[in-house]
Amino acid sequence: MSQRLFWLLLGGMLLLRLVIAAMLPMMETTEPRYAEMSRLMLEKQDWITPWYDAQTPFWGKPPLSFWAQKIAIDLLGVNDLAPRLPSWLFGLLLLVVVAWLARVRQGKPAILPTMLLFASMALPFVSMGAVMTDVYLALGVGLSLAAFASLLNTPSALPGWLFFVGIGVSMLAKGPVGVVLTGIPIFMWTVTGGGWRRLWRLLPWFRGSVLSAMIALPWYGLAELKTPGFLNYFLLGEHILRFVEPGWAGDLYGDAHERPKGTIWLFWMLGALPWSLVFVWRYGRDAWRIRRFPWPADGQGRFLFFWALAPMLFFTLAGNILPAYVLPGLPAAAVLMHGYLRPSGKQLASGALVAPLVIALAVVVLMARPAQWTSERANVQAYARAAGSASLLAYLEKVPYSASYYSHGAVEQVSLSGLDDWLARGQGERYLVVHDRHLPLLRERTDIRAVALSRSKTMVLFKITGAAGDR
């Protein structure tokens, strides 16, 4: 296939991802939670502290993604595309890093095929255009390690400085875990033949560390000064206890994810689809034939191998993990897969269409069934169409993150015990969203006349047409 067709395929894939980002409602919980936190930063005009809600600072992540999302919401407004656009743009920068790495490893002809292979993996395709922090981390780690791979070919000043820029980006994207994921493949390369003396000569360690500190440390200091206790929670809790204690009880935000140890390897297989299946089958077949596992013969190849494995090596014994944790290793995996599989143009084009088309088909099916959304976009939009200027919107017992985001925070939480007081307040229209499990309680209230207007997967929007406050 011609270079032009490859570019059209890659461009079409990226455009498809952007269209999906603009159309798909934000499903609970990660995307709308981070989007609402960015909206709150904009509302408060706060560039230091992400806010979990209007009163609670969020200590779980550094601010890089929230800064980018805050700016996008300020420019584009509260919608589905705004908080997703920054990760799409940062994903383009990550593709540039992949292109650089491919050229360093295999020369200019490998750039476009490797970019296409990487972008068509399931996890990179989903992550580009999702409200999450992992693309930002992958960019920081990728920049540092691609710079190191370049130094293994030809030592020069610019890659050495870019290595430490990447460290600073990683620290602002997700914290010290980025430094660890950067250090693992470098350490493994060093002890398997690279040598400590050569490692010392490759990088401007002192001046580069000062550069990284200048990028990241000012925010860490300001964050601790503004909300004391941040550093202890973030460094100890988020970076140690979260991973060694499944279902970590100290989590302030209730988003711990308990998984069986070793699940990260399954996440890698899923995240690198469809190419992971092709690679594992071919690698296993070759290993069986030669009665040993194929191993990169050169130092740079070993380094890329360790880079690709770094997230799995680090998170194998962790119980609190997410599928996106494998993303920082996929740039190296894409380069190694392209070099090992050497797919023809037709094979590459066919494989590159699998994940994007399957995901696009799933989105089309989902868009046709709004009653199955785990998102409150439809309910909030139905309220906006029906409500008058003096209307009240409330959620019974709990306000989902998506409801807060789509309503610009103009939504109340009403407890079961406080329902009567809310109904009696004011003379305007009242709209109440009720979870399915509470519907029997509402039906038992003979003093309330409620008309259902809309629903999501688990919640129904009612217009209250008769209540104590109307009499």
Q: How would you classify the pairing of strands 430-435 and 392-396? A: parallel
Q: What is the pLDDT of residues 136-156, one digit of tens each?
A: 999 999 999 999 999 999 889
Q: Using one digit for the tens of pLDDT, what is the confidence trace for 288-337?
A: 888 777 778 789 999 999 999 999 999 998 877 899 999 999 999 999 99
DSSP 78: S
Q: Record the pTM.
A: 0.93
> What is the SS3 assignment for 451?
strand
Across 445-464, average pLDDT: 89
pLDDT digits (tens, 9 = 90+) for 399-435: 999 999 999 999 999 999 898 888 887 666 789 999 9
Mean pLDDT of 194-203: 94
Using the predicted structure, report yes or no on whether residue 389 has a pLDDT greater than 70.
no
- Ordered strands of the 412-414 beta sheet: 412-414, 392-396, 430-435, 459-466, 449-455
The residues pairing with 406 across neighbouring beta strands, listed in sequence order, are none
Q: Is the pLDDT of residue 173 over 90?
A: yes
392 vs 123, higher pLDDT: 123
CA distances to 145, 328, 461 from 87, rounded to whole Å, are 20, 14, 32
| Mean pLDDT (the chain, rounded) | 91
pLDDT at residue 471 tops 50: no
Mean pLDDT of 250-278: 85
Rounded distance between C-alpha atoms, residue 463 and residue 471, angstroms: 16
User: Mean per-residue pLDDT for 58-67?
Assistant: 95
* Residue listed under structure tokens 């439809």: 378
d(CA 134, CA 34): 12
pLDDT at 4: 86
With left for phi above 0 and alpha for psi between -120 and 50, is residue 259 left, alpha or beta?
beta
Span 173-191, mean pLDDT? 96
Cα distance between residue 226 and residue 210, in whole Å: 24
Of 437 and 244, more confident: 437
In this prediction, residue 427 carries a pLDDT of 63
Contact status, residue 438 vs residue 395, Cβ threshold 8 Å: no
CA 471 and chain centroid, separation: 49
Closest listed residue to residue 51, CA positions, set 65, 68, 64, 34 = 34
